[in-house]
Chain A
């Protein structure tokens, strides 16, 4: 059976069917991401503190450029097919797939950085101050404010805080992933070698909260007794509300990138046969895939400033 209106437009809509279909699908996608953006707004407005500077902005910026580039290459692929140049269209499609893979690869690296980055909290004030003295040579107010800044950003560090709530961020020797206090206790682990992030200072306000937070192995490892801690968590979704919504939004977006890459890979590897018999149909298929891809780019255009910068 032949599927109708894959090339010629329907008289009532003026469009081939797949185009109407993709726009209806994108309409549902707007509502899906809209619901998550609304959740973000609610969580953020309702939070006492909202962390800043926990993500790597240069990497995020580069990834945004990668996705923008892929949006251009996919529209160029469609334009090439429209002009009857399959070879050029396929080349642009290949570039789009490479950009998609680069985006996912970079995102994976970012995720891995989070899964190996930890926050610990001591059971009592004495434990905190002793660790600060050992790690940084003093436990003065500036050091403590710098520690708060590592968790919440420099603006939040200006607020009064309770030393008992102080979370010290850093890495565990060997960069293990997903460790938690419950896991360490279950494994009867008595100590961990913890390398704390340097406390941020106001002079670093403009040039690298995130760079500090991402620094690996910059500091000496210090032995921390697991029994002295009442909290230890990697930067995973349950660590705080910010990471919960960050992973939900970017995870869903990454799933869309992977989905788009699979569709475009299909067109890249198997589109040649259709081009020989029905070039217009292949061109329309690529247009539909491209519309989805541009939508994925559109979502990221909002996600990037909302999660990385604001």
Chain B
């Protein structure tokens, strides 16, 4: 677990923050660039954009929010949140395929 209290460590951290800053700007430019390239496959476009967004969010959460070196209680809190967040997503997916009896979809 890294200690953020020593000046030497903080100076190293600042270099990491700057590198991540550039990576985040580049990630944004990459996502927008891919939009203008206009990939015909919609699924591929969505997947790529969400992968780039996930990498960016990992950098922000991991380094700016110091999640890569946090205490157990925070990991436990976030693990619980992740469980319920995924459950919420799963319920959403489920609802897309589980209609009430006699429901018609696109006239069928």
- The contact of A61 among B32, B56, B72, B92, by CB within 8 Å, is B32
A interface majority secondary structure: helix
**Contact between A76 and B65 (Cβ–Cβ < 8 Å)?**
no
Give the number of residues in A that approach B within 8 Å (Cβ atoms): 45
Known: A41-B92, A76-B17. A27 touches B35 (CB 8 A): no
**Contact between A305 and B74 (Cβ–Cβ < 8 Å)?**
no
B29 partner residues in chain A, CB cutoff 8 A: 61
| Closest-CB distance, A172 to chain B (whole angstroms) | 30
Bitwise interface map of B from 61 to 88 toward A, beta carbon under 8 Å scored 1, else 0:
1001100000111100110110011001
Bitwise interface map of A from 1 to 39 toward B, beta carbon under 8 Å scored 1, else 0:
000000000000111000110011001001100110010
Q: Does A75 contact B (CB under 8 A)?
A: yes
Pick the interface stretch among A64-72, A186-194, A230-238. A64-72
B interface majority secondary structure: helix
Pick the interface stretch among A118-126, A249-257, A259-267, A293-301. A293-301
B71 partner residues in chain A, CB cutoff 8 A: 13-15
B49 partner residues in chain A, CB cutoff 8 A: 305, 309-310
| Closest-CB distance, A24 to chain B (whole angstroms) | 6
| Closest-CB distance, A10 to chain B (whole angstroms) | 9
**Contact between A309 and B25 (Cβ–Cβ < 8 Å)?**
no
A27 partner residues in chain B, CB cutoff 8 A: 77-78, 80-81
| Closest-CB distance, B97 to chain A (whole angstroms) | 11
B5 partner residues in chain A, CB cutoff 8 A: 82
Bound-state CA distance A294–B17 (Å) is: 13
| Closest-CB distance, A287 to chain B (whole angstroms) | 9
